[in-house]
Chain A
């Protein structure tokens, strides 16, 4: 698609206008880094960190999605419909994760109406990463610090100018009226892409992984890979593609809601059957499930590896488990072990 140009000032003006007209979300500064927040103007946007602590999945798959609402007499009340929102500053890994969630939640033509409705109301304005973190490995899994998958508009920071690539009609609309980029700008963008990609040396043989994982399932290797894991939910809750949920009814101040809340395969309750039997009581089996899910199960289900290489689970893990090491060891030690 064609690419356009915005000056830094024009981008500020655009964001200021969007903040007035609609709900604008962007990375904002907090005690320990950057998080997503609703902003009133460009000045509140904080782009100093490589990425936000939490992923952007909450914009289409919130931690708590109200499905039904009742009053005290048992009358059903309409849940509030999602509002229009613009998300500025989403990074390529997180946008690919959004694309994954959209895909996952339409498997076999069964569309999840909640994710769909939110995605329709959301515009993602992405920002290419000119700088990566030591935990980033998007490139090893088919992504790139400059990848545009899942976004409506991708911006690349060229210094005084921003290169803007619309990917959807929503993106086109935002960028209408700005001048088209010239060759020199495209070259500058390509150079930045190459530089950022060069910062990620890791390569993963994803095709081989598909052979290795089913064979490794019953292996003893998990005993050493997962002994550290304490089965908390830090990695799953912060993972941009983890998509499991539970449904719970709660009464707050006289009104009852049925909510869909995030769940984690690391919790024992997750796999407990109604009978009380729990087929996945072994903590190592729970860690294994997470790895299998990212790199194998979602390939079977939706045709794609669901790890986008954002590195959040590596940063968040209290036991300092590194999913890259896990994958590398599986590839190296299997099936020879």
Chain B
């Protein structure tokens, strides 16, 4: 039985036995090579489910939208499962209302090529699940090109780095697709939407665009699971993973913490450790 078939069968059983009220997975989209999040509530609809490399959205995002739907089953790749861990750690969802159908992931594609976040993925298998659909996959070797690009970016002076970021971020149209698809960006009122008083200007100039991106990156420090959902969502093709990878690396190296991989380990920003490096306090 193929993985998609197994998924359909299990979804059908879970719904028929009323163990869950809804299964969140993927179904085919309107164009070949694209899939869509699917919300299945009737056993016979489970036929629509698929899982393959086109299943690129991070479904953990939708768990926050269906909070009142009772117990929900969700299809989770490695990165999706890490987002779920972060949401559990932050008390946004309840574990007992969740049934995780884990899937190993060989990387998702966008415009015919493997997504850049998947090239650097170190957690292709779910870190938390109730059952695995199909086998675990092997961890890919880190992509040399991504590593090389990151290294080159690191070696630039801060003025040059600013220049590189500015070129990209000046093109941002502030549609907030990046924020909206991010499972861990869930504030009821985002700082850019605060209007009394207004915190960030709305005229899409570079400084306001930059304020949005840098504050968002800092809010995501130690919480971003590098799923790449934001990067793929951006209609302007802005390289959001460059910033995300850098922030994640700093958190990893300085605080020995990787977001969403261990549910029992408190996230980096929620604990105070006197031994933390704090040379910036002079």
Contacts and interface: CB of A to CB of B under 8 A. Distances in A.
Interface of A: 31-33, 53-54, 63-64, 134-135, 224, 227-228, 230-234, 236-238, 246, 248, 250, 252, 257, 259, 261, 264, 267-269, 283, 314-316, 318-322, 324-325
A53 B201 contact: no
A31 B116 CA distance: 15
B30 A314 contact: yes
Given A63-B204, A230-B61, A53 B235 contact: yes
A49 B236 CA distance: 15
Nearest to B36: A320
Contact of B204 (A230, A246, A261, A324): A261
Contact of B31 (A237, A261, A268, A322): A322
A267 B232 contact: no
Given A269-B195, A318-B232, A227 B65 contact: yes
B235 A320 contact: no
Given A64-B203, A267-B193, A320-B30, A232 B65 contact: no
A248 B31 contact: no
B180 A230 contact: yes
A236 B235 CA distance: 12
A230 B29 CA distance: 16
B237 interface: yes
B237 to A, nearest CB: 3
Nearest to A32: B237
A134 B31 contact: yes
A316 B35 contact: no
B201 A248 contact: yes
A232 B173 CA distance: 11
B260 to A, nearest CB: 20
A58 B116 CA distance: 31
24 contacts: A32-B237, A53-B235, A64-B203, A134-B31, A227-B65, A228-B37, A230-B177, A230-B180, A232-B176, A234-B177, A238-B173, A238-B175, A248-B201, A248-B203, A261-B203, A267-B176, A269-B195, A318-B229, A318-B232, A319-B37, A319-B181, A320-B29, A320-B36, A322-B29
Given A233-B177, A252-B205, A318 B233 contact: yes
B57 to A, nearest CB: 7
Contacts of A227: 37, 39, 62, 65
A230 B35 CA distance: 15
Nearest to B175: A233
B203 A234 contact: no
Given A134-B31, A227-B65, A31 B237 contact: yes
A321 B36 contact: yes
A29 to B, nearest CB: 12
B36 A232 contact: no
A234 B30 CA distance: 18
